[in-house]
Structure 1
């Protein structure tokens, strides 16, 4: 086949991957790993766990590639897998927390460059931690809609498709998420 992999659609790449083309798997991964990682990181609030969950997402996606419906966007399908992996991670985390009676502190922030004063960096990190913590306390259905729309930048229709709900449901969840965040943050 003379198809340039970078020119092929996701459905064509999936078919090639199922046919044994390793470079097709690599191209699918290259196309979708960043948006999936952003979604997972925003959902879990833990960059280290996000790396593992992103990897688990693609392992699961490639293992079940034969079940991928080529009529639907691959990006929606792989995001649904990622959200399921995040939900699994959250359940496992709650169980571990229950048994250990200790909630882990998540302090994974990149060190900013020297151009920004240390006190400003600290204020930004504190505000980011405050917002991230408030988002983590939102119910999962509200947090997922908020992350897909504001962090991942999906349209309302795309977010609705990923979550398998109506666009109106996304709109309602976004309104409720923003209202709850505003109340939690005192703004």
Structure 2
């Protein structure tokens, strides 16, 4: 995924071309990595719309910082680190929004219609997937990030450690703890 793609250029070559003003080169980088960034964001947010926003923010930030990219390191790890940071920004904003919603007068809270889906309309497997996705999204970021990168995105522990700025052992430990916490959440 980081090597040859539709344009036959490596990620570092595409970055150099984009920095030289070739818009198509940056579009090729986006096309090559947007699915992985979107999946990461969707697992973090639990919502496709929010994930699209986070994905867009990540690529905008990456484009703005493209000159800082180190061609000796994988582009995918670099963009995923930016995406993780954008997911954390999103989580902080969500916490602030929740505090403001909680501050509304109680009678306003009853005006909100239930947006939940009819349980009969969804298959059991779909509900279970949504339940697991929600549990993953509810994990603390320090546990969620390594789990998403390694188990859902297929990164090695070394790659995830690089993205998160941790040791491989710390990634391994956090994945173990994330699994324990998920088990507790899903059984409870």
TM-score range, shorter chain: 0.7 to 0.9
**Counterpart for residue 182 of structure 1:** 183
Alignment of 1:117-136 (within 5 A): 121-136=122-137
CA contact (8 A) 2:135 2:182 kept: yes
CA contact (8 A) 1:5 1:13 kept: no
Deviation string, structure 1 residues 15-61 (Cα, Å, up to 9, x no partner)? 11000111111111111111111111111111101111101111110
Deviation string, structure 1 residues 94-144 (Cα, Å, up to 9, x no partner)? 001001128999x799xxxxxxxx969431232123212222222111011
CA contact (8 A) 2:11 2:29 kept: yes
CA shift, 1:154, in A, is 1.0
Change (3 A) 1:11 1:126: same
Change (3 A) 1:108 1:11: farther
**Counterpart for residue 71 of structure 2:** 70
Alpha-carbon separation, structure 2, partners of 1:147 and 1:131: 13
Alignment of 1:107-122 (within 5 A): 121-122=122-123
Alignment of 1:23-172 (within 5 A): 23-101=24-102, 121-172=122-173
CA shift, 1:64, in A, is 0.9
Alpha-carbon separation, structure 2, partners of 1:29 and 1:134: 29
Alpha-carbon separation, structure 2, partners of 1:99 and 1:20: 43
Alpha-carbon separation, structure 2, partners of 1:108 and 1:146: 28
Work out the number of aligned pairs and report it: 175
Q: Secondary structure at the match of 2:72?
A: coil
TM-score normalised according to structure 2 size:
0.85
Give unpaired runs (5+ residues) of structure 1: 110-117
**CA RMSD of superposed structures (Å):** 2.6
Give unpaired runs (5+ residues) of structure 2: none
Alpha-carbon separation, structure 2, partners of 1:100 and 1:149: 34
**Counterpart for residue 112 of structure 1:** none
